[in-house]
């Protein structure tokens, strides 16, 4: 039953999230937009434009046969590396909040790391299929499947963007496990990387502050712990049914980035436990639909690609939710389909288009 309706489950879940995203971006941003720009519709108008562009990316990806990405995979990998390198070129890379995470192309700014995530998933699917008979071999299977994708991950880390790089690394390891890489190799790699992660964290002050804020946010309630405390207050104020759409108080200059990274907190405040549960249920719909498509694809490339894309979307959602609930240190990741942000929304919509093309080509046979 689910196999025949996987596409419907996926489409309905995504469309409801996108529609809720438009509503919540307006609800969370109109006060800040009025204060900063004199136009309470400033952010939501741009978000609607991003949504329309995302729908365009969705339909293009839907019509493009997914097998075409098999041939494009090496070029997509190179594209990701080039875009991430361009961030560090003066005059091209755009600095926000002390980190170079954007490319300024004049009329448009975009975040290459979002593009790189999808490119890495495609490349990993390509590698895992290509090396399917050697994937359990350390030198010819494991190392190429890990070392090559580690290049864009390292470049994202250098921006610095610890949250996105960790997300990409987890995605890489899970895809490698699904592809048949020995668990002992994956475990050994994780153990080998942990000391390096410790050195990185202790050498970046902002990462250290985030870890401290995660462990004890009330130790610095007006500094590093401010965001997460305000997020707790938002969820605590929401109760079962919330204070009402548009009636939230924490977005009134208390909770920074309410329309981006912490939009889930305002959903908790304004729509309560019922709204939070509904959002989680919609992401479960994406997980079920995407994994069903992966399971019934007749080609390994389709299976790995569908599984990787689904994991990419769900993993980012889980990490964002865990952060705003105080279960993980703050990482600055948007909530897919809901948070304000053009690059994330367009890449996410294109990813869903690829999933549905896999279903149309393979999953419904």
Output the pLDDT for position 134. Answer: 82
The Cα angle at residue 84 between residues 83 and 88, in degrees rounded to 5: 105
Is the peptide bond preceding residue 230 cis, with omega within 30 degrees of 0?
Answer: no
CB atoms within 10 A of CB 148: 17
pLDDT at residue 215 greater than cutoff 80: no
Find tokens 């007006």 and name the residue. 222
pLDDT at residue 322 greater than cutoff 50: yes
The closest alpha carbon to 50, from 318, 361, 338, belongs to 338
pLDDT at residue 340 greater than cutoff 80: yes
The closest alpha carbon to 304, from 113, 160, 131, belongs to 131
Residue-wise DSSP of 90-140: TTTEEEETTEEEEEE-SS-EE-HHHHHHHHHHHHHHHHHHHTTTTTTSIII
Phi, psi of 252 (to 5 degrees): -80, 65
Output the pLDDT for position 14. Answer: 97
Q: Which domain holds residue 40?
A: 2-363
Q: What is the pLDDT of residues 125-165, one digit of tens each?
A: 999 998 887 878 888 878 888 888 899 999 998 877 888 88
Sheet with strand 93-96: strands edge to edge: 93-96, 99-104, 109-110
Read off the pLDDT band of 3 (50, 70, 90).
low
d(CA 199, CA 19): 42
Read off the pLDDT band of 253 (50, 70, 90).
low
Strands (E) in the chain, as ranges, are 93-96, 99-104, 109-110
Output the pLDDT for position 17. Answer: 97
pLDDT at residue 307 greater than cutoff 50: yes
pLDDT at residue 115 greater than cutoff 50: yes
Tell me if 334 sits within 8 A of 114, measured CB to CB. no
Tell me if 217 sits within 8 A of 229, measured CB to CB. yes
Q: Which residues of 37-46 are buried (b: 16+ CB within 10 A; e: fewer)?
A: eeebebbbeb
Distances (CA, A) of 56 to 62, 102, 107: 10, 22, 19
pLDDT at residue 203 greater than cutoff 80: no
Between residues 273 and 161, which one has the greater pLDDT? 273
Q: What is the pLDDT of residues 161-178, one digit of tens each?
A: 888 888 999 999 999 998
Tell me if 42 sits within 8 A of 32, measured CB to CB. no
Average pLDDT over every residue of 323-327? 90
d(CA 16, CA 36): 29
Average pLDDT over every residue of 89-97? 75
Read off the pLDDT band of 2 (50, 70, 90).
low
d(CA 340, CA 41): 13
What tokens were used for 35? 């204060």
- Domains identified in the chain, total number: 1
Read off the pLDDT band of 363 (50, 70, 90).
very low
d(CA 355, CA 365): 15
pLDDT at residue 98 greater than cutoff 90: no
**Mean pLDDT (the chain, rounded):** 87
Distances (CA, A) of 208 to 190, 212, 224: 21, 6, 10
244 in the Ramachandran plot: left (φ > 0), alpha (ψ -120 to 50) or beta? left
Average pLDDT over every residue of 11-29? 95
d(CA 245, CA 269): 9
pLDDT at residue 48 greater than cutoff 90: yes
């Amino acid at each position: 039953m689910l196999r025949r309706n996987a596409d419907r489950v996926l489409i309905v879940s995504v469309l409801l999230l996108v529609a809720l995203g438009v509503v919540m971006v307006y609800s969370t941003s109109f006060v800040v937009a009025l204060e900063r720009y004199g136009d309470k519709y400033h952010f939501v108008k741009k978000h609607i434009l991003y949504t329309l562009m995302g729908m365009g990316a969705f339909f293009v990806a839907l019509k493009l046969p997914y097998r075409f990405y098999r041939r494009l995979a090496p070029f997509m990998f190179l594209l990701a590396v080039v875009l991430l390198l361009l961030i560090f070129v003066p005059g091209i890379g755009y600095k926000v909040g002390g980190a170079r995470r954007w490319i300024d192309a004049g009329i448009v700014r975009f975040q290459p790391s979002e593009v790189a995530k999808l490119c890495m998933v495609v490349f990993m699917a390509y590698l895992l299929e290509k090396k399917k008979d050697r994937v359990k071999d350390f030198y010819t299977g494991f190392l190429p499947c890990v070392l090559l994708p580690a290049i864009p991950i390292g470049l994202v880390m250098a921006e610095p963007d610890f949250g996105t790089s960790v997300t990409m690394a987890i995605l890489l390891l899970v895809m490698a496990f699904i592809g048949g890489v020995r668990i002992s190799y994956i475990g050994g790699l994780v153990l080998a990387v942990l000391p390096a992660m410790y050195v990185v964290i202790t050498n970046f002050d902002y990462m250290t502050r985030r870890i401290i804020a995660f462990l004890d946010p009330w130790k610095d309630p007006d500094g590093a712990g401010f965001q997460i405390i305000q997020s707790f207050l938002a969820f605590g104020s929401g109760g079962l049914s919330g204070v009402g759409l548009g009636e939230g108080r924490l977005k009134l200059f208390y909770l920074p980035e309410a329309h981006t990274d912490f939009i889930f907190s305002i959903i908790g405040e304004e729509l309560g436990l019922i709204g939070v549960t509904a959002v989680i249920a919609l992401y479960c719909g994406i997980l079920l639909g995407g994994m069903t498509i992966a399971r019934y694809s007749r080609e390994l490339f389709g299976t790995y690609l569908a599984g990787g894309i689904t994991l990419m979307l769900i993993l980012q959602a889980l990490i964002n939710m865990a952060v705003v609930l105080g279960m993980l240190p703050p990482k600055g990741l948007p909530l897919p389909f809901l948070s304000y942000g053009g690059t994330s929304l367009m890449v996410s919509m294109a990813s869903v288009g690829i999933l549905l093309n896999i279903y149309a080509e393979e999953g419904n046979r």
